[in-house]
Each structure stands twice: as C-alpha cells, then as structure tokens.
C-alpha cells in the first residue's frame, strides 16, 4: 500500500482513506489466491490501481480497481460490497465483472456476452472501460507465465479489441503498449526482426534527432515563448503496419522517431509553427492542423515534417500541455489535467470536459443500438472490431458531402451511410465515374454515386458485402420485417 499511497498524492485525506479501506478489504478477500507468476493476487490489483493513478483519476475508480475481481473470484456478495463501499464503487466493479463462463456453450459466446455487458455499463459510466484497459495492460505485461495457447488467445483479443478501443478513446500511451506486447506474442518472427533492425538504427537516429532538436531550440529561443521538446519513438507494431500499408522494407521507413514541441497556449503553438516555417524546410504536403479540426477522439496537435540541412527527416508535433495530456490519455485526460481557473469558471470548465468525454461515447451508444437484436456472437465481435478500428476513409458524394467510413467499407456501406432508404434500394454504384460492384471497397478521396431502383429489396446475401454495423443492422431489420420464413430463420441464426 505504501507505493500506491505515494502515487495517490493528489487525493485528499478522506479520499485516501476510502482507497486504503478497499486495499485492506481486497487483501483479506483474495488472501488465499496466487497468480500464475507465484505472486499474491493482490499484486495484480495494486498494479491496476497504479496504472489508473498515473491518470490522477478519482478515488472511486481507484477503489473499484482494487475490488474489480472480488465479485467474480471470492465469496463476497454484491450486497456486502454495497454495504461497505456504496453504489457508485460497486456499479464500477459490476461493470468489469465477467458473466459466469459456465452459462455459455462456447468461448466465443462467452466473450461476446461479456463485451456486450461491459459496453452497456460503459455507456452509463466511461470509467468502466478505463478500469478494464488498466486491468488488461497489467495482464499483458505478465502474460509470459501462462501457457502459449492462453497467451495467444489473450494477445489476440488485446490486439483486435482492447488496443483499438484505447485508440478510439484516445489513450495512445496504453494503446501503443498493448499493441507491442501483443505483437511480440502473435508475430514473434516479425517482432524480433523489426526490433533488431530498430536497435541497429537507433543510435544514428538519436544522434540525428538530437541535432535537429538542438537546432530547433536555438531557433525558438529568441522568441521568448515557453516550450519544452520531447522525443518519441514510433512503436514497433506501428512500424510493422506502416511497412505493410506502404509495402516498404524497414530500411525505407524514415520516421522511427519524432519530436514534440509542447507549449502553454494555442497562440504559442501557431507562433512556433510560424518560426519553424521560416527557419526550416518542410516536407511538401506534411502539414495537418488537428487543433482547428480535432480528431474524433479529442486529439489535437499541429503536424509537420522538418527536413534539416543534413536532409534528416523528422516528424514534428506542436501542442499545448493540455493537448499533450489528452494525446497520451484521451478521454481520461480531463481527470488528469486541470486548468488553474478559480470559482465558477473552474466548475464550468470541468463540466464541459466531462460532457466532452462522455460525448465521445456517442458512437458506442449508436453501435449498441444497431446491435440490439444481434444474437450471433461472431457477428457482434466482428462488428465491434470494425467500429473500434480508427483507420477511417473519407468518401465524397457527387454533391461533395464527406462520408466517413471504416477502412474496408464497400459501396453498399456507403449507400446506407448516406441514408437507410438509399441503402434499401441499392441497385449499383459509380466510383469516380466508373461502374462499381456492390462489394467494391472504397478509398479516401473517391467520389461515389449510388444508383437506386424502387423495386429493389435487400437480400440476405447483402450481409456478405456490408461491414459497417449500421448497414448490417438495417439489412437484418428489413429482412426480419419483410422476408419470408426461410429468410427470417437465416437471419436469426
């Protein structure tokens, strides 16, 4: 408890007492349990709490982290827990507690139903998924003590669901670590090859980066603007995906490291950008303004790529301290970073942040609505993976309206994204002026025109071509309401 207490310095005395009570309650309830590593089970609970303490998160979340397995793995009842800790903490514990696996015939169904249960809890309180991510992060760090099959199963779920969910919530720090830990287990040969090559280039890359950093400091110093510069290595899985996406060998990947220039105000971000524009050559087409147009997960920064006099290429991000915290911790950042504003303005600011964080779950609410009638466990998990995938494409209607879709979306997905009635009467599509099939995959920048006919009706086969939850939900709904008994049976199954 001593180490955890040091990390909880930001809590007041009363809040700390609640956490201490949860610690000692958990230590008694789990006293007979040992982890696969041979360590007392309590070490896992404390590690999860330490992950959350890094966010400077509230006492209820820390307490719930210490108690998160108590209903699932001990004889403590929900009634007893409520009596000791109250409804708020217990609701968080219940949100991350798995449904008894013996209620299901197979692991896929159990996995799907546990995710469905947890996501319903997340919609009510975003802290549920933050606890679960902290829990999964520590489990991944200690995965080596499990059997190879168990390692691959957990790593696979982490890579396809937990890491994308962390990305969708903007918690990049945890997302990157989850990816690399899973990458090492699932693709050991590729992981070791990239790691070896990365280490060989690391020394020269750091030297080049240091030279650019020193030059940048020199050019910015006369401005009198407060700033600090940090270096960031690209995570190994990110390098692997970039090599795959661009079909390039490791030797052709230049941005293994990048620089972050962190300042105090938005005005200073643009002032620094102006100086960099004058003093450095920039890679053509590399500038993106995510401050004026933030990403969906609240991420904000100015992005540009510097080319030094020695032709060293360095990806550079310019952001405020608050943006930096949000870039690391996403929706959790509003607990971690607080503006120094007094009185009512402070309360209004915090309320606005809470509202913004909760608003980021609108996509999840919509997803659960689309999946409300889905009984197929595989489809539920596949749809969730698609929805969590933050790799998006931007496709235009002929009227130049932008439609955002997940990577891999088809013309049929596009039709339903424009309007459900257009999807239901889909006859065909033109992509960039050329006829395209129902299963044609779209790319960013495509102009897609949907051709419709009133007597066209959705077919059960359309489910083979749609990947978005929105399109699949609408197709299933139509077939249930209008299909014959054979079709209805197929949809239910």
CA distance linking residue 217 with residue 207, whole number of Å? 15
Listed in order, the ranges of the chain carrying CATH 3.10.20.30 are 391-492
Name 86's Cβ contacts closer than 8 Å, sequence gap at least 6. none
User: What SS3 state is found at 447?
Assistant: strand
pLDDT attached to residue 111: 84
Band (334; pLDDT cuts 50, 70, 90): low
d(C-alpha 327, C-alpha 141), whole Å: 22
Q: Which CATH number fits domain 391-492: 3.10.20.30, 3.90.1150.150, 3.40.50.300, 3.40.50.10490?
A: 3.10.20.30
- Whether residue 336 is predicted with pLDDT greater than 80 in this model: the reply is no
Judged against a pLDDT cut of 80, whether residue 488 lies above it is answered with no
Residue identified by tokens 């899985």 is 237
Provide mean pLDDT across the span 165-191: 92
Q: What is the DSSP string of 176-195?
A: HHHHHHHHHHHSHHHHHHHH
Q: For the residues 326-349, what does the mean pLDDT come to?
A: 53
The DSSP H or E segment spanning 108 is helix 107-124
Strand partners, 441: 410
Provide the pLDDT for residue 253. Answer: 83
Assign domain 188-336 to its CATH architecture. 2-Layer Sandwich (3.30)
Q: How confident is the model at residue 316 (pLDDT cuts 50, 70, 90)?
A: very high
Q: Is the pLDDT of residue 335 over 80?
A: no
For the cut 90, the answer to whether the pLDDT of residue 102 exceeds it is no
Mean pLDDT of 386-393: 74
pLDDT of residue 228: 96
Is the predicted pLDDT of residue 262 greater than 80, yes or no?
yes
Q: Residue 257: what pLDDT?
A: 80
**DSSP-based helix, strand, coil % in the chain, nearest 5:** 60, 10, 25
Lay out the sheet containing 426-431: strands in order across.
434-436, 426-431, 448-452
Residue ranges, CATH 1.10.3210.10, the chain:
2-186
Does residue 449 carry a pLDDT above 50?
yes
Residue 61 has pLDDT above 80, yes or no: yes
Q: What is the SS3 string spanning 290-335?
A: CCCCCCCCCCCCEEEEEECCCCCEEEEEEEEHHHHHHHHHHHHHHH
What pTM did the predictor assign?
0.75
Comparing CA positions, the residue from 405, 411, 376 lying closest to residue 391 is: 405
Give the closest residue to 21 by CA, choosing from 10, 36, 11, 32.
11
Report the distance separating Cα 126 and Cα 304, nearest Å.
33
Kindly tell me if the per-residue pLDDT of 311 is higher than 60. Answer: yes
Q: Which three-class secondary structure string do you get for 210-274?
A: HHHHHHHHHHHHHHCCCEEEEEEECCHHHHHHHHHHHCCCHHHCCCCEEEEEEECCHHHHHHHHH
Alpha carbons 269 and 310: distance in angstroms, whole number: 26
What average pLDDT does this structure show over 5-15? 93
Residue ranges, comma separated, of all CATH 3.30.460.10 domains in the chain are 188-336
* pLDDT interval class at 246 (50, 70, 90): confident
Q: Round to whole Å and give the CA distance between 430 and 293.
A: 30
Catalytic residue list: 72-73
Topology (CATH level 3) of domain 2-186: Hypothetical protein af1432 (1.10.3210)
Using 50, 70 and 90 to split pLDDT, how confident is the model at 112? confident
């Amino acid at each position: 408890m001593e180490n955890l207490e040091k990390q909880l310095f930001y809590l007041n005395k009363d809040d700390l007492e609640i956490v201490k009570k949860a610690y000692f309650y958990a230590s008694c309830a789990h006293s007979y349990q040992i982890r696969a590593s041979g360590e007392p089970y309590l070490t896992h609970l404390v590690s999860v709490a330490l992950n959350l303490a890094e966010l400077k998160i509230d006492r209820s979340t820390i307490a719930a982290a210490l108690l998160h397995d108590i209903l699932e793995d001990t004889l403590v009842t929900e009634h007893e827990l409520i009596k000791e800790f109250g409804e708020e903490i217990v609701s968080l514990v219940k949100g991350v507690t798995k449904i008894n696996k013996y209620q299901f015939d197979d692991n896929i169904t159990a996995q799907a139903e546990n995710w469905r249960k947890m996501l319903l809890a997340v919609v009510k309180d975003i802290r549920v998924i933050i606890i679960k991510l902290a829990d999964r992060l520590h489990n991944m760090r200690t995965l080596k003590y499990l059997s190879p099959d168990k390692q691959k199963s957990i790593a696979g779920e982490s890579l396809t669901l937990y890491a994308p969910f962390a990305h969708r919530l903007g918690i990049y720090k945890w997302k990157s670590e989850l990816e690399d830990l899973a990458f090492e287990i699932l693709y050991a040969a590729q992981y070791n090859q990239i790691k070896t090559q990365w280490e060989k280039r690391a020394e020269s890359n750091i030297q080049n980066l240091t030279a650019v950093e020193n030059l940048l400091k020199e050019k910015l110093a006369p401005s009198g603007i407060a700033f600090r510069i940090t270096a960031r290595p690209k995570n190994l899985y990110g390098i692997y995906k970039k090599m795959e996406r661009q079909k390039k060998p490791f030797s052709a990947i230049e941005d293994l490291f990048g620089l972050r220039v962190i300042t105090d105000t938005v005005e200073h971000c643009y002032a620094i950008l102006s100086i960099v524009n004058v003093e450095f050559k920039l890679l053509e087409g590399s500038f993106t303004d995510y401050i004026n147009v933030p990403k969906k997960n609240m991420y904000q920064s100015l992005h540009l790529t510097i080319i030094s006099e020695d032709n060293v290429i360095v990806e550079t991000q310019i952001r405020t301290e608050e943006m930096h915290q949000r870039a690391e911790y996403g929706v959790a950042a509003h607990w971690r970073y607080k503006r120094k504003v007094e009185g009512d303005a402070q309360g209004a600011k915090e309320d606005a942040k809470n509202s913004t964080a909760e608003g980021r779950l609108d996509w999840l609410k919509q997803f659960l609505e689309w999946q409300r009638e889905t009984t197929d466990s595989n489809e539920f998990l596949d749809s969730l993976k698609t929805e969590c995938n933050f790799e998006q494409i931007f496709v235009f209607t002929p009227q130049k309206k932008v439609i955002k879709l997940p990577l891999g979306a088809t013309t049929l997905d596009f039709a339903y994204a424009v309007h459900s009635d257009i999807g239901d009467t889909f006859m065909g599509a033109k992509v960039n002026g050329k006829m395209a099939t129902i299963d044609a995959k779209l790319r960013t920048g495509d102009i897609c025109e949907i051709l419709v006919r009133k007597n066209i009706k959705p077919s059960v086969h359309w489910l083979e071509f749609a990947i978005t939850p929105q399109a699949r939900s609408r197709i299933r709904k139509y077939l249930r309401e209008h299909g014959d008994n054979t079709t209805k049976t197929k949809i239910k199954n």
